[in-house]
Amino acid sequence: GAKNARGDDISRMKRQVAAFLNFRPLGQKADPLLNPETRIHRGFNHDLTGKLICPIHLDWSDPFTRESIRNKSIRTNDSFFIRAFYWNEEGDIRDVERGFLKGVLLVQTWREIFMHNGAIDDTGDFASDKDGNASVPAPQRKKAKRSTRKCIADILNMTQVTARSIAYCAVMLRFALSPVEIWGKDESFNYEGLYNTILDYFECPEPGSVGADHANDLLKWWNVYVSYVFLFAFHSLFL
């Protein structure tokens, strides 16, 4: 059912977000590296995940701001315009729509949830170091296994990216970046509000309005981008 599917997506994205961030280029990747088996050390207590879930109206580079967010002097429960949702992971508070919902991590999340068919076997196993702490091993490229299983988009007969699928993936990404281990136990963020806000962003503008045109253009962008982005990375798996 839907509950089991959501549980599968939560588990998968816990691992995949760690992989996305751990294997970025030097200087951009997670430091310390993220454990794909747990979300405990994510959220605002980690510099990279904290930056990604930080609202664009707050300056994450400012030490006082970071500390205020971490000690909850500054609340971010209902701040939905977070850096992870933006192109280049930056946003302009003077024009919050510019680059919104074009974040690479968000597109990666959509592709992982709706286009994943289990063709690549990547266990992401952990080994323990001498101090007993989990350490991330060097990535091992495995030969891709052909799979006849359909991806979720095929099962659902999805021929285009939809507003609801983007909203769902935004929720999955935000939760994967959080330190909370159990879905439904996070009272520090309004996930239902996030989902509804993104849905309203696409569906509420009056037909023919500037807002409606922008929403339609954004959906067109998504349908092109998910088809072509990361093609080089995909083909490199078979080299």
Question: pLDDT, tens digit, for every residue of 174-225?
Answer: 999 999 999 987 788 999 999 999 999 999 999 999 999 999 999 999 998 8
CB within 8 A of 87, min separation 6: which ones? 99, 102, 103, 104
Percent of the chain whose predicted confidence (pLDDT) is above 90: 67
Distance CA 143, CA 122 (A): 10
What is the mean pLDDT of the segment spanning 90-95?
94
What is the mean pLDDT of the segment spanning 103-121?
77
Distance CA 209, CA 156 (A): 30
pLDDT, position 149: 58
Give the DSSP per-residue string, 94-135: TBTTTTBT--HHHHHHHHHHHS--S-S------EE-TTS-EE
pLDDT, position 138: 29
pLDDT, position 124: 29
CA angle centred on 232, ends 227 and 238, rounded to 5°: 110
Q: Which long-range contacts (CB under 8 A, 24 or more apart) does 198-203 make?
A: 198/80, 198/101, 198/163, 198/166, 198/167, 198/170, 199/163, 199/164, 199/167, 201/101, 201/163, 202/163, 202/166, 202/167, 203/163
pLDDT, position 186: 79
pLDDT, position 16: 96
Highest mean pLDDT among 117-121, 137-141, 152-156, 159-163: 159-163
Written as six digits, the tokens of 189 are 């963020």
pLDDT, position 83: 98
8 A C-beta contact, residue 29 and residue 23: yes
Is residue 147 very low, low, confident or very high in pLDDT (cuts 50, 70, 90)?
very low
pTM: 0.81
What is the mean pLDDT of the segment spanning 18-41?
94
8 A C-beta contact, residue 179 and residue 67: no
Q: Token pair 């990535």 is at which residue?
A: 139
The residue among 193 and 232 whose pLDDT is bigger is: 193
For 8, 144, 147, 151, 211, the CA distances from 121, given in Å and listed in that order, are 16, 7, 11, 15, 42
Q: Is the pLDDT of residue 131 over 60?
A: no
Mean pLDDT across the chain: 82
The residue among 25 and 127 whose pLDDT is bigger is: 25
